[in-house]
């Protein structure tokens, strides 16, 4: 299982969390309380942080979401035989016909993004092959990538390195 697809409890168990002081909202409490959160995923070394909220609990939630996005972008997983995995239950639940519906701010987004990036990696970044396997259209997959600019940039770098055209 991809680390971005772990439950929050399981992900937190693999992480080191620390609070910190940072600039940001808070008025007279600014730089006086440790509301910023820095979260490190021990197995991969991925780090995410949040400090823009007044509450440590809110910053923790935001930092965990950012960590899941970072894991989706940086960590590739695959089957032992190198083949494509079947679409997950989450993917099937989010697919409506050939459309894929998930907003970039939704809790399911990092797991869906990780699944797409893993599939693209296995298929040498061939969007057509992945769209057939996942019973959706290439434009739906590109739309998902566009909703996370770092993902689109990473996919385009891989595609250009393989002599494929850039996705826009």
Give the per-residue pLDDT at 34. Answer: 73
Spatial distance between the Cα atoms of 119 and 107, rounded to a whole number of angstroms: 20
At 49-72, the pLDDT tens digits run: 988 877 888 888 999 999 999 999
- Confidence class for position 99, pLDDT limits 50, 70, 90: confident
> Looking at the predicted structure, is the pLDDT value of residue 20 above 80?
no
Give the per-residue pLDDT at 96. Answer: 84
Token digits for 136? 């959706």
For 112-118, what is the mean pLDDT? 95
Helix H segments across 26-165?
Answer: 56-74, 89-94, 109-122, 127-133, 138-146, 149-161
Q: Are 26 and 56 in contact (CB under 8 A)?
A: no
At 121-165, the pLDDT tens digits run: 999 999 999 999 998 999 999 999 999 999 999 999 999 999 999
- Confidence class for position 110, pLDDT limits 50, 70, 90: very high
Q: Are 139 and 145 in contact (CB under 8 A)?
A: no
Give the per-residue pLDDT at 26. Answer: 56
- Confidence class for position 82, pLDDT limits 50, 70, 90: confident
Q: What is the dihedral of CA 54, 11, 49, 52, to 10 degrees?
A: -20
Spatial distance between the Cα atoms of 79 and 158, rounded to a whole number of angstroms: 20
> Looking at the predicted structure, is the pLDDT value of residue 25 above 70?
no
Alpha carbon separation from 88 to 10, 46, 85, 112, 119 (Å, rounded): 18, 24, 8, 9, 12
Give the per-residue pLDDT at 44. Answer: 95
Q: What is the 3-state secondary structure (H, E, C) of 118-132?
A: HHHHHCCCCHHHHHH
Element (H, E) at 99: strand 99-100
């Amino acid at each position: 299982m991809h680390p971005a697809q772990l439950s929050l409890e399981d992900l937190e168990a693999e992480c080191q969390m620390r609070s910190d002081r940072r600039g940001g909202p808070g008025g007279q409490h600014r730089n006086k309380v440790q509301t910023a959160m820095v979260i490190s995923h021990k197995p991969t070394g991925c780090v995410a942080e949040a400090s823009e909220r007044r509450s440590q609990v809110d910053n923790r939630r935001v930092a965990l979401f950012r960590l899941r996005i970072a894991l989706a972008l940086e960590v590739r997983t695959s089957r032992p035989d190198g083949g494509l995995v079947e679409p997950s239950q989450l993917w099937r639940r989010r697919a409506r016909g050939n459309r894929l519906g998930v907003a970039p701010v939704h809790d399911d987004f990092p797991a869906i993004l990780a699944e797409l990036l893993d599939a693209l990696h296995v298929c040498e970044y061939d969007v057509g092959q992945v769209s057939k396997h996942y019973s959706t259209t290439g434009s739906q997959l590109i739309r998902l990538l566009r909703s996370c600019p770092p993902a689109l940039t990473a996919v385009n770098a891989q595609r250009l390195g393989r002599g494929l055209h850039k996705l826009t």
